[in-house]
Amino acid sequence: MYRAHPNDGIAWVTGASSGIGRAVALELAQRGFKVAATARRAAELEALAAESHSIFSFPGDTTDRAAMAAMVSGIEASHGPIALAFLNAGVSFIAERDGFSAGLVWRTFEINVGGTVNCLDPVLAAMKRRGKGQIALTSSLAGYGGIAGSSGYGSAKAALIYMAEALRLSCEQAGLTIQVVNPGFVHTAMTAQIDFEMPFIMGADRAARIICDGFEKNGFEIMFPRRLAYHFKAMCLLPYALFSRSCGARRNGRGGNLRGVRSNGNPKGAEPERRVSRRRVARERAFDFAAAKQQVRSRDLNWLGAGAKDDCDAARSQALDGVRDRLSPGARHQNDRRSAERL
């Protein structure tokens, strides 16, 4: 099975302006690859490129199909063939947890599925012509099975898992390697929106090392942390009645997390309410989650009223910048320390 090597060509990383994509771009550069980094925020990409002479900024919006076709041609014209494509750009709207919204679901699909498809199309064609290439799609453990409050995000990620499975079967004979990356919780701007306990959360640098190790190995699925992934996979084998009891909506209607999974790795039963609320109180002492969440949520909802997608993206990134800035001094440090102790 083909595995991309730095001598074979450049690596293309989408969603490289922050979080997992940014960390993977840096890790690939460290492993000897030249990297073409794509996202909408050009300034963030320039800052990334300034960190390594092997990283090159190729700003663009993955939902623009023609622009992605032109981008693949542009990258290959200036840096040679794309040997590895890590199609990772994605969004998650916290307002989804307030209830079903057609606007949010469509926008989530437009970016997470449509954007990935727009990148896949030209890069697959180029790799098929050469008879070799490696492509990895970022999905999520959330794509395994329905989680309350995640009807748009989770179903878009499920679609990506299916797409990778199907492509893998049809592309293998053409010499192409297709993989799917299913992360659990990783510290990024995306998870800064979340205010429930995130089992086994890890830093983006560690996630990037696991992902890049996975690129070098033979497996189809790169999933982590394994304990959470296997737990969720096992839950998906349960009859629906038992599955919903394990990861359905909680009594207070917030939902969205896996009740059977405890952060200490002991998968026994649901957590007592008292334990969760004590942790929340400790966390809120360091960071005003309620205010930040409200900020992100109201901006998402404003967009729905106005109906303008640019407003939504600008508001989201502005709000997330605010969350990230406010998270760094207190809660982030506390969260990182707690995760380090656990792992």
Ligand X SMILES: NC(=O)c1ccc[n+]([C@@H]2O[C@H](COP(=O)([O-])OP(=O)(O)OC[C@H]3O[C@@H](n4cnc5c(N)ncnc54)[C@H](OP(=O)(O)O)[C@@H]3O)[C@@H](O)[C@H]2O)c1
Binding flags for ligand X, 254-293, as an x/- string (CB under 6 A): ----------------------------------------
Rounded to a whole number of angstroms, the minimum distance from the CB of residue 111 to ligand X is 5
DSSP assignment of 167-230: HHHHHGGGTEEEEEEEE--B-STTGGG--S--TT-B-HHHHHHHHHHHHHSS-SEEEESHHHHH
Q: Does 317 bind ligand X (CB under 6 A)?
A: yes
Distance of CA 17 to the CA centre of its chain: 12
Among 27-35, 90-98, 212-220, 330-338, which window interacts with ligand X (CB under 6 A)? Answer: 90-98
Closer Cβ to ligand X, 17 or 134, answer by number: 17
Exactly one of 8, 17, 147, 300 binds ligand X (CB under 6 A); that residue is 17
Q: What single DSSP character describes residue 121?
A: H
Coil, helix or strand at residue 51: coil
Cα–Cα distances in angstroms (integers) from residue 203 to residues 186, 212, 214, 337, 338, in the given order: 6, 15, 17, 11, 12
Which residues have CB under 8 Å from 198's CB, separation 6+? 185, 191, 257
Among 87-95, 218-226, 239-247, 279-287, which window interacts with ligand X (CB under 6 A)? Answer: 87-95
Exactly one of 90, 152, 256, 260 binds ligand X (CB under 6 A); that residue is 90
Closer Cβ to ligand X, 167 or 223, answer by number: 223
Rounded to a whole number of angstroms, the minimum distance from the CB of residue 266 to ligand X is 22
Exactly one of 9, 21, 199, 260 binds ligand X (CB under 6 A); that residue is 21
Q: Does 88 bind ligand X (CB under 6 A)?
A: yes
| Of 333, 332, 140, nearest in space to 228 by CA | 140
324: enclosing H helix or E strand: helix 309-327
Closer Cβ to ligand X, 16 or 26, answer by number: 16
Among 36-44, 118-126, 144-152, 172-180, which window interacts with ligand X (CB under 6 A)? Answer: 36-44
Exactly one of 54, 108, 118, 138 binds ligand X (CB under 6 A); that residue is 138
Starting at the earlier edge strand, list the strands of the sheet with 221-224: 55-57, 35-38, 10-14, 82-87, 133-138, 176-183, 221-224
Rounded to a whole number of angstroms, the minimum distance from the CB of residue 132 to ligand X is 25
Rounded to a whole number of angstroms, the minimum distance from the CB of residue 40 to ligand X is 3
Exactly one of 15, 122, 152, 225 binds ligand X (CB under 6 A); that residue is 15
Looking at residues 145 to 164 of the shown chain, list those that interact with ligand X (rule: CB under 6 A): none
Q: Does 143 bind ligand X (CB under 6 A)?
A: no
The C-alpha atoms of residue 255 and residue 234 are separated, in whole angstroms, by 20
Q: Does 190 bind ligand X (CB under 6 A)?
A: yes
Q: Does 185 bind ligand X (CB under 6 A)?
A: yes
Rounded to a whole number of angstroms, the minimum distance from the CB of residue 52 to ligand X is 17
Rounded to a whole number of angstroms, the minimum distance from the CB of residue 250 to ligand X is 20
Residue 296, token pair as written in the block: 């992100």
Rounded to a whole number of angstroms, the minimum distance from the CB of residue 7 to ligand X is 27
Residue 96, token pair as written in the block: 């989804």
The C-alpha atoms of residue 96 and residue 24 are separated, in whole angstroms, by 28
Cα–Cα distances in angstroms (integers) from residue 199 to residues 232, 285, 296, in the given order: 12, 20, 23
Q: Does 63 bind ligand X (CB under 6 A)?
A: yes
Amino acid at 324: R
Return the number of other C-beta atoms located less than 10 Å from residue 125's C-beta.
11
CB 309 within 8 A of CB 293: no
Rounded to a whole number of angstroms, the minimum distance from the CB of residue 64 to ligand X is 8
**Residue ranges in contact with ligand X by CB under 6 A:** 14-21, 39-41, 44, 61-63, 88-92, 111, 115, 138, 140, 183, 185-186, 188-191, 317
